[in-house]
Amino acid sequence: MVTSSPYPTLGILTLDTETPLGEIRFKIPNLVVRRLYIEQIQSMLLPDDQEQMAGLQAAKELYATGDMQPLCEFIERRYFKVFDNRDYRWAGEFTLKTIFLTLLFQDTFYLIDSEMDLARGYADLTLIVRPERRQYPLLDIALEFKYISLAEAGLDGETARHLSHEELRDLPVMRDKLAEARSQLQRYRDALTERYGDTLRLRAYAVVALGFERLVWDVAEAEP
């Protein structure tokens, strides 16, 4: 505890550093408190217990089989419906990552890292199976998120909702974002393999949101 600080220490945030102007920076102190934040955000966005369980079941599909589609469909159907036009003011990749994190935060089985420093970049979200859990058929996961505004795509929400998956993928801006994310993930994959060795069972995913309407995802395959 920093007793000389004029700010109260309540355990939910702790003092970190100061900015060059003397402003106080705070940080989340540990995983227990981080879990409380994640659970609170999930309860705010999905107050219904059955919906929360459905989301967690979709996350388990990803952990066990590598199938991202159930999770993306759940987010499209349930999470995105919570947001309205006013929320677009703050929409971006961080919003998308927070949504996924509320469903994927399983620190009993995973070492979870946001913005892990890898290959002169920062991986958006990594879930590495804990060493003591390696006996279970769990996949290691890396995700790179991209966000496309409706204006950037030249679409309105109604049009975006009715596009097929093939039409979504054919949007030039969508192709560009997916390619950018796959390129980043290839570097992260190589760095993670070097760091963790042959025990890694890594699946790397590019996930692109079109507003708060649609999600497109792709697997970044390892280069031969």
Q: What is the pLDDT of residues 99-143, one digit of tens each?
A: 898 889 888 899 999 889 988 889 999 999 999 999 999 999 999
pLDDT averaged over the chain?
83
- How is residue 12 written in tokens? 């939910």
Residue 98, phi then psi, degrees to nearest 5: -65, -40
User: What tokens does 199 get?
Assistant: 């025990």
CA distance 138 to 142: 13
d(CA 148, CA 23): 33
Say if residue 29 is in the same domain as residue 57.
no
Same domain, yes or no: 58 and 151: yes
Report pLDDT for 47. Answer: 55
Per the structure, the count of domains in the chain is: 2
162 within a domain of the structure (yes/no): yes
Assess if residue 86 is contained within a domain: yes
The stretch 22-39 carries a mean pLDDT of 57
Mean pLDDT of 6-23: 58
> What's the pLDDT score for residue 198?
87
Residue 156 lies in a domain: yes
Q: Does 224 fall in a domain?
A: no
Same domain flag for 28 and 50: no
Q: Are residues 23 and 79 in the same domain?
A: no
Claim to verify: residue 22 and residue 88 sit in the same structural domain: no
Contact 195, 174 (CB under 8 A): no
Residue 189 located in a structural domain? yes
* Residue 122 sits in the same domain as residue 63: yes
pLDDT at 30: 54
Evaluate if pTM is beyond 0.85: no
Q: Which range among 32-36, 45-49, 217-221 shows the weakest confidence by mean pLDDT?
A: 32-36
Is 13 in contact with 27 (CB distance < 8 Å)?
yes
Residues 156 and 213 in one domain: yes
The answer to whether residue 41 sits within a structural domain is: no
Does 7 score more than 50 pLDDT? no
Burial state string for 41-70 with b = 16 or more CB within 10 A and e = fewer than 16? ebeebbeeeebbebbbebbeebbeeeebeb
Q: Indicate whether 75 and 148 sit together in one domain.
A: yes
Same domain, residue pair 30 and 51: no
Query: Max Cα separation, the chain?
Result: 59
166 and 210 in a single domain? The answer is yes
pLDDT digits (tens, 9 = 90+) for 51-85: 767 888 899 999 999 999 999 999 998 888 877 66
Clarify whether residues 21 and 116 are in a common domain.
no
Residue range(s) defining the domain that contains residue 25 = 1-34
pLDDT digits (tens, 9 = 90+) for 133-183: 999 999 999 999 999 999 999 999 899 999 999 999 999 999 999 999 999
pLDDT for residue 144: 97
Q: Give percent of the chain above pLDDT 70.
A: 74
> Could you tell me if 30 and 53 lie in one domain?
no
* pLDDT score for 42: 59
